[in-house]
Amino acid sequence: MTKRILVFREINDTQLASLRAEFEVDYLPHLTSFDAPEAMEILPQVHGLVGASLKVTPEVLDKAPNLEAIASISVGYDNYPVDELTRRGILLCNTPDVLTETTADTGFLLIMSTARRAIELAEMVRQGRWTQNIGKEWFGSDIHGKTLGMVGMGRIGAAIARRGALGFNMNVLYSMASSKPELEKSLGAQRLELDALLEQADIVCVTVPLTEQTEKLIGAAQFARMKPGAIFVNVARGKVVDEAAMIQALDDGTLHAAGLDVFETEPLPADSPLARMSNVVALPHIGSATHETRTAMAQRAVDNIRLALDGQPALSAVNVDALER
Ligand code: NAP
């Protein structure tokens, strides 16, 4: 029997053709919810799902009794009920590694653009408001030689820390991670409790996954601990931060500036103050959004679903215990 898969995010023609050679494929790259009628019609027959950014709930799984595997085109898997998938014997695969360096580039882009006020100043030029030499009210702050506090020191955290330590001679602190002796040796990184990191870092950068333990990890109390003039960068997930507390801290000057790729609600609502604050650089969740990396992520997902539905070990699986079910 030919297995059926639903692809709910854009992949390239070669990738789609390779899936069509092996499976019956429903291609709905612009699907916005599994509750949409076109998805509801297919779910009862599907054996595999390939895509990203849509919430998969236990109710969605109830509608897909034949589902064997999901290949997410993302490394983060907070959109999936992992325990429930494992209980039902459904394998969940993700795309670690292939997006690490690109997401770290985005993290550093946010560090540099907030510290040097690049977006504000570029807007000034674009709008014809550069009419005299820039005075100190427009100066930014140095990045080189400063202290970078990494909240999370996994693949992406370590790649950002490496850019900071080796490229910008930054002093690297980290918390919310097991000890990393190799990074302590190669980057001079120092492991601290979160509070101590917040008190010492000039730039705090969040790269932890969103889990029950990390939801709203950074709130009013944490912003209050940061140094005057501190910059906050989030390339992880919006819900790791208490967004209302962050807006308040940016507004009252507790926090100097923020560089954000991710938000509590995405797309960011047009009436969010974050879209307009001059000390915020807000990007539309582009951490991994380059041609090369998105192609590599989709390829990893295509390979994962083929292997998983063929009963072979996937390249990167989140819940291998599902196979025991
Ligand atoms: P990773 O290698 O698993 O690193 C996660 C780090 O967070 C590790 O250092 C881990 O500690 C630490 N951590 C702290 N609390 C944790 C908890 N409760 N559960 C799991 N880990 C915890 O992941 P990564 O590849 O660096 O990706 C990190 C996150 O970035 C993803 O989950 C995703 O949400 C986000 N992301 C965003 C974008 C974007 O477009 N903005 C792109 C890619 C990824 P240990 O070192 O002790 O394991």
Kindly state the tokens that stand for 323: 């196979």
Q: Does the active-site annotation cover 285?
A: yes
Write down the pLDDT at residue 229. Answer: 93
User: Which H or E run contains 41?
Assistant: helix 37-42
Q: What's the distance, CA 108 to chain centroid? A: 14
For tokens 């459904």, the residue is 90
Write down the pLDDT at residue 325. Answer: 73
Question: From the alpha carbon of 99, which atom of ligand 1 is closest?
Answer: 43
Write down the pLDDT at residue 324. Answer: 82
Residues 201 and 295 in one domain: no
Which residue type is seen at 195? D
Residues 188 and 125 in one domain: yes
Write down the pLDDT at residue 305. Answer: 98
Residues 59 and 190 in one domain: no
Residues 115 and 259 in one domain: yes
If you take atom 45 of ligand 1, which residue's CA is the nearest one? 177
Q: Does the active-site annotation cover 237?
A: yes
Residues 173 and 252 in one domain: yes
Question: From the alpha carbon of 214, which atom of ligand 1 is closest?
Answer: 18
Cα-to-centroid distance, 274 and ligand 1 (Å): 24
Kindly state the tokens that stand for 217: 């990890």
Sheet containing strand 4-7, edge to edge, reads: 24-27, 4-7, 48-51, 69-72, 91-93
Residues 213 and 311 in one domain: no
- Reading the chain (325 residues) residue by residue, the pLDDT tens digits are 899 999 999 999 999 999 999 999 999 999 999 999 999 999 999 999 999 999 999 999 999 999 999 999 999 999 999 999 999 999 999 999 999 999 999 999 999 999 999 999 999 999 999 999 999 999 999 999 999 999 999 999 999 999 999 999 999 999 999 999 999 999 999 999 999 999 999 999 999 999 999 999 999 999 999 999 999 999 999 999 999 999 999 999 999 999 999 999 999 999 999 999 999 999 999 999 999 999 999 999 999 999 999 999 999 999 999 988 7
DSSP H helices, 70-173, are 82-87, 100-115, 118-126, 155-162, 168
Residues 86 and 111 in one domain: no
Residues 153 and 299 in one domain: no
Which one of 38, 193, 215, 266 is the catalytic residue?
A: 266
217 by DSSP, 3-state: which? Answer: coil
Residues 139 and 151 in one domain: yes
* Residue 145 region by backbone torsions, left for phi larger than 0, else alpha for psi between -120 and 50, else beta: left
Cα-to-centroid distance, 31 and ligand 1 (Å): 27
What's the structural domain count of the chain?
2
Write down the pLDDT at residue 171. Answer: 98
| CA 297 – CA 94 distance, rounded (Å) | 9
Residues 135 and 270 in one domain: yes
The CATH number of the domain holding residue 76 is 3.40.50.720
289 by DSSP, 3-state: which? Answer: coil
What Å distances lie between residue 166 and 55, 115, 117, CA to CA? 38, 18, 23
- The pTM score is 0.97
Domain that holds residue 315: 4-96+291-324
Residue in 73, 75, 290 to alter for ligand 1 test, most ligand atoms within 8 A of Cβ: 75
If you take atom 8 of ligand 1, which residue's CA is the nearest one? 154
Residues 266 and 296 in one domain: no
Task: Count CA atoms closer than 13 A to 184's CA, side-chain side.
Answer: 10
Residue in 53, 156, 319 to alter for ligand 1 test, most ligand atoms within 8 A of Cβ: 156
Please name which of 107, 220, 203 lies closest in space to residue 154, comparing C-alpha atoms: 107
Residues 248 and 121 in one domain: yes
| CA 307 – CA 3 distance, rounded (Å) | 13
